[in-house]
Structure 1
Amino acid sequence: MEIDIYLFGASGHCKVIIDIIASTQDLTIKGIVDDYPNQKELCDIPVFNTNSFGTFSDKQFIVSVGNNRTRKKIVDHLSAIYPIAVHSQAIVSKRAIIGKGTVIMACAVVNSDAFIGQHCIINTAAVIEHDCKIANYVHVSPNVTLAGNIIVGEGTHLGIGATVIQGIKIGKWATIGAGSVVIRDVPDYAVVVGNPGKIIKYNVENE
């Protein structure tokens, strides 16, 4: 039985989520909602202005916004039902736990006993190995590799192609730069770049 859902945010990231849902057999997108829509359709799906959309609480939504902080703000103010969306070409262990509102893109791998929090993005060809724990609102970019037993705190962004060795703990709202290799624990709000990864600054604590 197909489930009707809506997306919130008519962005480039939204296009990828549309493709995820198109690959499945059980979700159908009825429309896209945006605070400031600059088009009436996206990928042949109607786009509605938030103010004229009506009630949200009885509808199923995925927040299709790539920015972690913005996604969290939307969820904090949007009372809705949140399904998950997993691309048909992703590999997700039956022993993994996936939180509501999370999206998993094509060719991603989530292995045994991994825990993925709510409203996360597991992007194209990312690898989440066994026993990893990913908190809410994390974005794991394309081709990121997380070895086993890694902890990633809320809101952290791991850039394209980053690699994290086993057993590492990364704090909340941190940023791991593209291509970085993380071999040491990362504190909250830290920005890490390079191989091996080094802290170059800290994000502003403006949750």
Structure 2
Amino acid sequence: MRLQNKKDMEKPVIIFGSTGLAKAALEIFNSNNIVVYGFLDDDEKTHNTEINAVTVLGATDDHGFTKLIGQKCEAFVATDDNSLRKEYVEYLKETRKVMPMNAVHNAATISESFIIGHGNFVNAGAILSNDSKMGNHNVINSKAIIEQEVEMGDFVQIGTGSIINTKVKIENEVFIGSGVTVVAGVTIGKGARIGAGSVVVGDVKKGQTVFGNPAVEVK
């Protein structure tokens, strides 16, 4: 398993976002004894409020805080809105020359041979099996299972309790809802969407939305 080096994990982290995924990320960092320095959010109503005693410091482009990233702090992007996630990632790359760190719950199970990129969110109970790999900025929700020899791209979201079987290929920006089963050997094309509870037994084309058991295209 490839994660941040120990030195980076000892730094405090600034979380981009303060709702939903951000609160779960705070729990994940707490589970790993990583200090959260604070949240940044563009909603002014959240500024100077607290989440479990951690302050929403200001906006995501507040240089007074972002200047710390890459030197004294790490960053994590905590939103499941892919367009906003991409915006924050580009901002960090361009202005701070850094990639977001991973947020991996200590109650997740990850094989030593699973290769993981940067900026990924992996919640409690997820199982990431041997000889599989995923890229950057993916969201793996609670109790999702990724079996052996799976290949996953960037900005993928996998819902709670979904099962991705052996040798599945998932291209960039795919959304897989909760409780989905993807059978072995299937390829899911870029930007495809799989409805909750579906059973995917064949390849899904780029940009398709499918649903059902077996999953069929939804027009």
TM-score, normalised to structure 1's length?
A: 0.91
Deviation at 1:45, TM superposition (A): 1.1
Q: Which runs of 5+ in 1 are unaligned?
A: 202-207
1:8 and 2:16 are equivalent in the alignment = yes
Count of aligned pairs between the two proteins: 200
The secondary structure found in structure 2 opposite 1:31 is strand
Distance, in Å, in 2 between the alignment partners of 1:4 and 1:186 is 40
- Amino acid in structure 2 at the alignment position of 1:44: A
Structure 1 residue runs of 4 or more that deviate by more than 4 Å after TM superposition: none
Q: Residue 195 of structure 2 corresponds to which residue in structure 1?
A: 177
Q: Residue 97 of structure 1 corresponds to which residue in structure 2?
A: 115
1:31 and 2:38 are equivalent in the alignment = yes
1:78 and 2:88 are equivalent in the alignment = no
The secondary structure found in structure 1 opposite 2:218 is strand
1:157 and 2:157 are equivalent in the alignment = no
Deviation at 1:66, TM superposition (A): 1.1
The correspondence of residues 1-207 of structure 1 with structure 2, limited to 5 A, is: 2-25=10-33, 27-39=34-46, 40-47=49-56, 48-54=58-64, 55-56=66-67, 57-58=69-70, 59-79=73-93, 80-201=98-219
Deviation at 1:78, TM superposition (A): 2.5
Distance, in Å, in 2 between the alignment partners of 1:69 and 1:157 is 13
Deviation at 1:30, TM superposition (A): 0.2
TM-score, normalised to structure 2's length?
A: 0.86
Distance, in Å, in 1 between the alignment partners of 2:62 and 2:83 is 24
Deviation at 1:168, TM superposition (A): 0.3
Q: Which runs of 5+ in 2 are unaligned?
A: 1-6
Q: Which moved more, 1:40-49 or 1:132-141?
A: 40-49
- Amino acid in structure 1 at the alignment position of 2:45: N
The secondary structure found in structure 2 opposite 1:6 is strand
More helix by share: 2
Distance, in Å, in 1 between the alignment partners of 2:127 and 2:211 is 24
Query: Between the two proteins, what is the percent identity of the paired residues?
Result: 32
Contact 2:132 2:151 in 1 (8 A): yes
The secondary structure found in structure 2 opposite 1:78 is helix
- Amino acid in structure 1 at the alignment position of 2:166: G
Distance, in Å, in 2 between the alignment partners of 1:192 and 1:135 is 19
More strand by share: 1
* Gap change, CA 1:37 and 1:184, over 3 Å in 2: farther
Contact 1:69 1:155 in 2 (8 A): no
Distance, in Å, in 2 between the alignment partners of 1:37 and 1:114 is 41
- Amino acid in structure 2 at the alignment position of 1:45: V
- Amino acid in structure 2 at the alignment position of 1:118: N
